[in-house]
Amino acid sequence: MSDQYDKLRALLAELEYPSIYLYKFIVKQDPNKVIDIKRCFSETAEFTERASKNGNYISVSIREMMLSSDAIIDRYKTVGKFENVITL
């Protein structure tokens, strides 16, 4: 079964686990979306937010200790369900 995460899955297979993984998302200026994204991660994750120059978007970076490539992809799938969130 092939899906949009096959290429990422192959790249993640090269990492050693557990590993700190950096997620990046772009959100249209909506603080509630940022809160929704944060709820998808553990309390120990490190969050960094930065507004775009014109203030239309918020860049959200998250570092979290991950135990497997499947866990990383599961997080992407969860956040991917939100509207107006771009995954990098």
What mean pLDDT, rounded, does the chain reach? Answer: 93
Return the ∠ at Cα 84 (arms to 48 and 36), rounded to 5°: 50
Q: How far apart are CA 71 and CA 67, in angstroms?
A: 7
Residue 2 has pLDDT above 80, yes or no: no
Ordered by start, the domain boundaries in the chain are 6-87
Whether residue 32 has pLDDT greater than 80: yes
**Whether pLDDT at 47 is above 60:** yes
Residue 3: predicted pLDDT: 78
For domain 6-87, the CATH architecture is 2-Layer Sandwich (3.30)
- pTM for the model stands at 0.89
Convert the pLDDT of each residue in 56-84 to its tens digit: 999 999 999 999 999 999 999 999 999 98
Helices (H), 1-88: 6-12, 31-39, 69-80
